[in-house]
Each structure stands twice: as structure tokens, then as C-alpha cells.
A and B are shown apart, each in its own frame.
Chain A
Amino acid sequence: EDKVVQSPLSLVVHEGDTVTLNCSYEVTNFRSLLWYKQEKKAPTFLFMLTSSGIEKKSGRLSSILDKKELFSILNITATQTGDSAIYLCAVERHAGGTSYGKLTFGQGTILTVHP
């Protein structure tokens, strides 16, 4: 059974702070790890990390993947109130059989950024 554990479960910071969100995983035949941001309903894609792409950056957000230690972190620098959301981490197995595209999610980290 694949497993994803995120920490912390919730985090409250002030604008301008830097935050680090953690995701550890156990998955058979790892294919990718994905980060999503969920503000109201639809999770929106942030990053996909694979064996060939273990570090990603977009503006103030960045993420790394440690395949040896089986974890990923999502960093947000200079946080803004618009960063307040649930951040979800998910893993996917390699294609083949019935596992293609099936995502196993963690519980999520609720980030609240105060002005």
C-alpha cells in the first residue's frame, strides 16, 4: 500500500516569512511526485518531480526530491496572503498494469499567511 505523509499538518506565518513543507513517501516502483495547491476546490498543479527532474523552481516556489531518503520539500519564500491554501503532495507509480495515473495523496498542509 502506497503511503504519503505530510508535515506539518498546519502552519501559520506572517507575510514575508519563508516556509518549508515536508512530504515523505513509500511507493512501489516510483514514477513521480507532484505538488498541488488547493484554495477552494480544484487542486492546481505546482510541480512534478521525477528521477530526471529532482529540483524545480517557479518564482517564489521551489521543490526538491530526495529519492534516496524518500522525501520532498516545498519551499515558499516571501510568503503572501494569496499563498494561504492547502498544499497537497501526491505520488504516482510507473505506467503499466492498473497504476498509471493513480495518485496517492497525503493529508495536506494547511498554510495560513497573515498580513
Chain B
Amino acid sequence: ETGVTQSPTHLIKTRGQQVTLRCSSQSGHNTVSWYQQALGQGPQFIFQYYREEENGRGNFPPRFSGLQFPNYSSELNVNALELDDSALYLCASIQRPGNTEAFFGQGTRLTVV
């Protein structure tokens, strides 16, 4: 297992609600990336946080936002949830600079009803 932990593991929300997902990076890793994985698809990059700032964003609307804290842990917030937001949300951490692979957490399974 990697040292990346995510919470909660499962979550059910109603359309229109807001959700916060949390991620603790592997020890020593200062960069956190978030991915959305819909059923039957590969993970899609949402955004990345480095030094507490957003450092790269994929093709996701502004209602997807995040934070990184001084201890490198991170949150993903999604406002105005839509049914299509139902997916597995994965957090990955890496150390910058370096040539290390990304380590993934177990993910949060979000279901929007």
C-alpha cells in the first residue's frame, strides 16, 4: 500500500449539494494531484497543487476547486453536484523536483442521486 490516504471511502450526495474530499500525501511528497475516474474510463486529471497553490488544471469547471495545506495534505471541493459527478476520485502525490512516479490513494467513491 502507498502512504496516500483519502477520506471518506464512500459518499452519497444529492444533486445540487456540495462535497469535500480529503487527501493526505505520502510522507515527503509536496505535490498533490486529483483525478476523476468514471466507470469504465481511465482517470482524468482535475488539477494539481504545489506549494499550496493550484499548479495546472484539466478540463473541469470552476465548481471543482481545491486547497493544499502546509503539511501538503489537500482537499477537493465540488459545488452544485450533478449526476455526472458520480465517479471514483483519486488523489496522487509526488515529490518535486524529481523523477518519481505518482503514488495513488484508495480513492473516494462519490455517488450523486
Contact = CB atoms under 8 A, between A and B. Distances in A.
Contact of A34 (B31, B48, B97, B101): B101
B48 to A, nearest CB: 6
Interface residues of B, number: 33
A57 interface: no
B107 interface: yes
B43 A105 contact: yes
A61 B102 CA distance: 19
A43 B43 contact: yes
Contact of A42 (B55, B94, B97, B106): B106
A102 B44 CA distance: 10
B68 interface: no
Interface residues of A, number: 28
A103 B96 contact: no
B41 A107 contact: yes
A101 B90 contact: no
Nearest to A47: B101
B23 to A, nearest CB: 12
Given A42-B2, A103-B45, A105-B42, 16 more contacts: A36-B104, A42-B4, A42-B104, A48-B99, A88-B42, A88-B43, A90-B43, A95-B96, A98-B55, A100-B56, A100-B96, A101-B31, A102-B33, A102-B56, A103-B33, A103-B102
Interface of A: 4, 6, 32, 34, 36, 40-45, 48, 50, 88, 90, 95, 97-108
Query: Which 6 pairs across A and B sit closest by C-beta, in order of nearness?
Result: A105-B42, A98-B56, A41-B107, A42-B104, A45-B101, A41-B106
